[in-house]
């Protein structure tokens, strides 16, 4: 077969699982996943009317409230597209159709309060930022193939011989970021009021919860560094401020990817202030205007800029 005139098109959720020799021969087109706002509009204008018609219902038989749609997106699906969202809407429509033929009630309103009756217990959870500031706990932002997410980076210090313990299934790049953070802290220990020989007499433990989920990438560098400084100085960190950025040995903050998804995750978690690398300023325009207006962005050049925002000094 002469395939010289054939164009092959293939799709994948991530390029990480594609063999390198094959990937080198491809032109990769990255398609961003839908935001929560986009999913809500797709559901209201397309998915719900389609499933109502498919199940022999009328628009007056079932009414989805917008909060119920958002809860379905956030607690019953975890995807970049809307395939599973449509399945969950179909589940609600099927049960509503059954209720119509077994009861005399003609209209059913779907709300967050009765959503579990249709879809069962929530399958996923999202962090909602609550509580007081703590020592050694910072709020970071992560990018995943199904969208952005918040993550809490916990650090603690104990007497020891200078070991650095990393737990929570951290990848090689993230481990290297933690080591770079340690070296930077050592170089400015005197300025921060930290014992200069802390790396000889203390062990540092960094943990990122949800250990079953692999985590990697350099974007948690500034978050881990801030958490370690908080632990070593005993100064609490504000939990209602999230941050992202790669750091260098000199304490500079470098740009990272996935800003739109990360900021949307922060907004969903109730965070209204986000610290971003200065070179990511151009990415702020990609964030939906409805979300952007509610957020405050602080641009970082160095780790010191982040410390000024998040350390709760007396």
**Tokens 């997106």 map to which residue?**
73
Q: Report d(CA 258, CA 280) in Å as an integer.
A: 10
φ and ψ at residue 273, rounded to 5 degrees: -135, 125
Q: Report d(CA 106, CA 96) in Å as an integer.
A: 10
- For the chain, the farthest-separated pair of C-alpha atoms sits apart, in whole angstroms, at 76
**DSSP per residue over 160-203, as a string?**
SSS-EEEESSB-HHHHHHHHHHHHHHHHTHHHHT--TTHHHHEE
Tokens of 171: 């990848």
* Pick from 117, 122, 43: nearest CA to 76: 122
* Pick from 84, 149, 91: nearest CA to 116: 91
Q: Which residues are catalytic?
A: 219, 262
Residue 206, strand partner residues: 155, 166
């Amino acid at each position: 077969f002469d395939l010289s005139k054939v164009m092959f098109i293939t799709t994948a959720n991530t390029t990480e699982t594609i063999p390198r020799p094959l990937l080198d021969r491809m032109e990769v087109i990255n398609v961003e996943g839908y935001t929560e706002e986009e999913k809500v509009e797709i559901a209201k204008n397309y998915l719900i009317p389609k499933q109502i018609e498919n199940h022999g219902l009328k628009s007056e038989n079932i009414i989805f409230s917008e909060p119920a749609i958002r809860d379905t997106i956030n607690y019953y699906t975890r995807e970049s597209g809307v395939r599973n969202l449509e399945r969950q809407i179909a589940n609600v429509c099927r049960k509503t159709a059954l209720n119509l033929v077994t009861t005399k009630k003609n209209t059913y309103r779907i709300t967050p309060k009765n959503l579990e009756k249709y879809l069962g217990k929530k399958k996923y959870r999202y962090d909602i930022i609550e509580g007081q500031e703590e020592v050694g706990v910072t709020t970071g932002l992560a990018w995943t193939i199904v969208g952005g997410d918040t993550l809490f980076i916990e650090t603690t210090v104990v007497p020891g011989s200078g070991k650095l313990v990393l737990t929570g299934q951290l990848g090689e790049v993230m481990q290297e970021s933690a080591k770079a953070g340690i070296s930077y802290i050592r170089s400015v220990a005197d300025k921060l009021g930290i014992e200069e020989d802390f790396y000889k007499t203390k062990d540092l433990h960094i943990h990122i919860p949800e250990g079953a989920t692999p985590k990697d990438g350099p974007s948690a560098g500034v978050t881990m560094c801030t958490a370690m400084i908080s632990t070593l100085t005993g100064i609490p960190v504000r939990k209602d401020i999230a941050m992202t950025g790669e750091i260098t040995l000199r304490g500079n903050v470098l740009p990272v990817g996935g800003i739109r998804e990360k900021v949307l995750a922060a907004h969903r978690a109730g965070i209204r202030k986000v610290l971003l690398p200065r070179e990511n300023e151009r990415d702020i325009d990609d964030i939906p205007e409805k979300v952007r207006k509610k957020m405050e962005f602080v641009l970082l050049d160095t780790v010191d800029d982040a410390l000024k925002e998040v350390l709760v000094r007396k």
